[in-house]
Amino acid sequence: MPNTALTLAPELAISEWFNTAAPMSLAALRGRPVYIHTFQLLCPGCVTGSIPQVQRIERIFSHTDLQVIGIHTVFEHHAAMTPVTLRAFLHEYRISHPVGVDLADDTSDMPVTMRRFSLRGTPSSVLIGRDGSIGYQSFGIEDDIAVGARIALALSAPFPHIAAGGEPENQEGCTDDRCEAPTSTR
């Protein structure tokens, strides 16, 4: 029997949240597709391409249960990209979805969430399915139609059965919306 164990996306490591009353976690969002975009406020590609694309995604998919999360992941120019500067940036660019500041780590120039997801730089995006697994990950800016198609597929996926602890229930033997009964050993 093939291994059908689910590999969940790693949890976010955030030092400060903006645009949300409470800290967010991927575990709490299981059952909903999540679109994460990482950016730096001094990244030209983020400012001119990625952030406008995310705003279009929010507008187009506002009637769905898609959760958009921004992660400000700073791996250069640390002194210039502080939470105070980020707050002003979010206001000026009218970014209203939740944004977390990726947790800095003294042992590496790369912030924790960026390392956990093996991201190469900014802008990057990660699409997490309803089951909590990574459906797609990219570096750079992609065509709107490709991103939109992937999000639409994630939204159309069936709702997983989520156990009380936020983990998908064991679906051993289940693939492609089919569940095979275990073979008898009598």
Q: Each residue of 63-88: pLDDT tens digit?
A: 999 999 999 988 776 666 788 999 99
Fold (topology level) of 14-20+29-176:
Glutaredoxin (3.40.30)
Region 143-163 average pLDDT: 86
Question: How far out from the chain centre does Cα 43 lie?
Answer: 19
Q: Residues 108-147: pLDDT tens digits?
A: 788 999 999 999 999 999 999 999 999 999 999 999 999 9
Hunting for tokens 């597929």 — which residue is that?
153
Question: Rounded CA gap, 62 and 59, in Å?
Answer: 5
Does the pLDDT value for residue 10 go beyond 90? yes
State pTM to two decimals. Answer: 0.81
Among residues 23, 33, 41, which one has the least CA distance to residue 68?
Answer: 33
